[in-house]
Amino acid sequence: MYKNTPIAEGLFTWPSKEPALLGSRCQQCNIAEFPQKPSCPACGSVDVQVEELPRRGTLWTWTIQGFMPKKPYLSDETPETFSPYGVGYIELPGAVCVESRLLDNNPEKLKIGMEMELVVETFRHDESGNPVMSFAFKAVE
């Protein structure tokens, strides 16, 4: 039996029917960070709390990754099977802008300002064949 594991612990809630990214918020100056940090980058306070970030946000900007990233990029893809993918910044209301892979790679369908939603999907497989899960964003339909 395969076990789905997150690409990194503490990055998002998992397993979950409605996963959320996990950020941190400073209790002194209210600055939010993603991924979560042990201290605030703005004021230096260690009084930070982990919080679930909004699942929906707005596409702030985007591009298409047209070539396979260099190592240490670790996916199931090879230069022969690589497929270009969208990369964007999603502004999560009241929180942060998150850089993320986008499920769509068609420039005709990606528009700055469009509403996006978090998804968790298989990014690669580990040495035992278990799915390794990562987050991405897709357009809200």
The per-residue pLDDT for range 51-108, each reduced to its tens digit, is 999 999 999 999 999 999 988 888 989 989 999 999 999 999 998 999 999 999 999 9
The DSSP annotation for 83-98 comes to --EEEEEEE-TTS-EE
CA distance 62 to 59: 7
pTM for the predicted model, two decimal places: 0.92
How many Å separate Cα 79 from the centre of its chain?
23
Q: Are strands 115-125 and 56-65 parallel, antiparallel or unpaired?
A: antiparallel
Q: 64, 85 in Cβ contact below 8 A? A: yes
Q: 58, 114 in Cβ contact below 8 A? A: yes
Q: 117, 92 in Cβ contact below 8 A? A: no
| Bridge partners of residue 124, in order along the sequence | 132
Residue 18 sits at φ, ψ, to 5 deg, of: -130, 75
Q: Write down the pLDDT at residue 1.
A: 61
Residue 29 sits at φ, ψ, to 5 deg, of: -120, 0
